């Protein structure tokens, strides 16, 4: 399994780059266009949720038929209703969503 790790400041300026990286990796792995879009959206939502006052660490784990993305950081203050919407989006678009301490772990399989 290959690992790509990045740490970004909690600024929306870097969100687009992380979305593009996730989509590019997914495309290179052979995910279809809908799956690539799903990965782009869930990575964006997870990073956005961690936009607090601390750096955000993103780990991409790449295996031939699986992409796992770990987003690590301090949770942002979010209204309960918006939190539920984010959770629904993540669960609908990723094959698996795990929340462990300060991590959101997203898994998508081909």
Q: What is the per-residue pLDDT across 18-49, written as a single tens digit (0 to 9) for each?
A: 999 999 999 999 999 999 999 999 999 999 99
Query: Which residue ranges in the chain fall short of pLDDT 70?
Result: none
**Overall domain count for the chain:** 1
Q: pLDDT value at position 78?
A: 76
d(CA 2, CA 97): 20
Note down the domain range covering 21: 2-109
d(CA 41, CA 34): 11
**What CATH number does residue 6 fall under?**
3.30.565.10
The model carries a pTM of 0.91
Q: pLDDT value at position 84?
A: 86
């Amino acid at each position: 399994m290959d690992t790509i790790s990045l740490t970004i400041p909690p600024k929306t300026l870097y969100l687009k780059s992380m979305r593009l990286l996730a989509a590019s990796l997914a495309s290179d792995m052979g995910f279809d266009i809908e799956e690539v879009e799903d990965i782009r959206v869930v990575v964006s939502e997870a990073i956005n949720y961690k936009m607090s006052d601390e750096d955000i660490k993103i780990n991409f784990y790449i295996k031939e038929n699986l992409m796992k993305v770990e987003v690590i950081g301090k949770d942002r203050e979010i209204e309960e209703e918006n939190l539920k919407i984010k959770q629904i989006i993540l669960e609908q678009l990723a094959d698996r969503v795990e929340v462990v301490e300060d991590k959101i772990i997203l898994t998508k399989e081909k």
